[in-house]
Amino acid sequence: MSRDHLADHDDFGGLHRDLAATRQAVEGLTAKRFSRRFMVRALGVAVPAAVTVGCGDNASPTSPTSSTSSTDATLTGLTLSTGSLSPSFSAANSAYTASVANAVTSATVTAMASSSTATIKVNGATVATGVTSSAIALSLGTNTITVAVTAADNATTRTYTIVVTRAETVASSCTGKIPSETGGPYPGDGTNGPNVLIMSGIVRSDITSSFGGMSGTAPGVPMTLIMTLVSATTCQPLAGYAVYAWHCTRDGGYSLYTSGFTNQNYLRGIQDADASGQVTFQTIYPGCYSGRWPHIHFEVFPSIGASSSAANRVATSQIALPLATNNEVYASAGYEASVRNQAQVTLASDNVFSDGYSLELATVSGSVAGGYTAMLTVGI
């Protein structure tokens, strides 16, 4: 072979090798669908880590992503171990009050956060959502419990407050037995017609709405009724006892009995006493009907189990409401008839309270706008 032929052969061999290398590189690129990052790295250009560009017909550019932390710092539930919150918990409210007996020296709080990533602190101590806090000592008088909820963004915080009032002393009425009074013509306990004591759902704290197949909510100024049951001889709390309470509407009618209210059973309920002897009902302020001073009926039973029969009552009495508070409430819309009816009766002329009412007159605080709290210690 001539030298010229050898040179041509070498040139052809080199071209073949170049073509083979190029083909191999292309196949590698196709297999890798290499990224924009891989391409520009060779050029020495930096690109955002989150941005990639495919190679070929299936290329699909993506945008950089960023994560945001939750700003939800709300609660879905808040409970106090003793007494009841006033008003009842709702997502819209962040300020609450509660009253407890003198014998109650501590309380716990359980808070439920809307977001699982939120942090809850009760009086500065971190508590997991849904977990009961450590015991909080209660001094005589007012005690403020704060529940601070911080969202995952560590910037959004909402604070809830519970002002707990512990009675300064054991009420003097615990030394006297509550007078026995009539249950009236509308008891709803089976002694005169309807019997709610045997109905499922009668054991409840909020009695403003009907239950057991009936529907409807009694309108009126909100009121929390707190009764403390004590022994009339020892003044010790009667834990485990039960109270059936009922009263009229703001119009002066009684559910199950009065025309227009026979298809309702609201403003009736049973509660069992806690360790401090307290029962608490969320209700409305009763109206005043002709011939009677504004009042609330109640029956006391030795246990929640015994409350299914009126025959097991250990006390039947009534609570009188104070004139000053009546006047405030009855000046609001819906209570117009009560203004006229109350003007025709006094505690001294009322056919129930005329023989004395010192052990039956409730202590009431609050306002029309914020609701009222009525308290009475009942000696048994």
Where exactly are the structural domains of the chain? 75-166, 172-379
pLDDT tens digit string along 53-72? Answer: 444 444 444 444 445 789 99
Tell me how far apart the alpha carbons of residues 269 and 199 are, in angstroms, rounded to a whole number: 10
Tell me how far apart the alpha carbons of residues 267 and 207 are, in angstroms, rounded to a whole number: 5
pLDDT at site 84? 83
Query: Which has more confidence, 114 or 9?
Result: 114
What whole-number percentage of the chain has pLDDT above 70? 80
Rg (CA), the chain: 37
Is 50 exceeded by the pLDDT of residue 256?
yes
Could you tell me the pLDDT band of residue 149, with boundaries at 50, 70 and 90?
very high
pLDDT at site 238? 95
From the options 3.90.1150.10, 1.10.274.10, 3.10.580.10, 2.60.130.10, give the CATH code of 172-379: 2.60.130.10
Asked if CATH classification 2.60.40 holds for the domain at 75-166, the reply, yes or no, is: yes
Cis (ω within 30 of 0) for the bond into 87?
yes
Tell me how far apart the alpha carbons of residues 235 and 353 are, in angstroms, rounded to a whole number: 24
H or E, element range at 366? strand 363-367
Contact at 8 Å (CB) between 107 and 90?
no
Mean pLDDT score of the chain: 85
Could you tell me the pLDDT band of residue 133, with boundaries at 50, 70 and 90?
very high
Could you tell me the pLDDT band of residue 175, with boundaries at 50, 70 and 90?
low
Query: Which has more confidence, 325 or 142?
Result: 325
pLDDT tens digit string along 280-298? Answer: 999 999 999 999 999 999 9
- Is residue 84 packed enough to be buried (19+ CB in 10 Å), middle (13-18) or exposed (0-12)? buried
pLDDT at site 234? 85
Is 60 exceeded by the pLDDT of residue 359?
yes
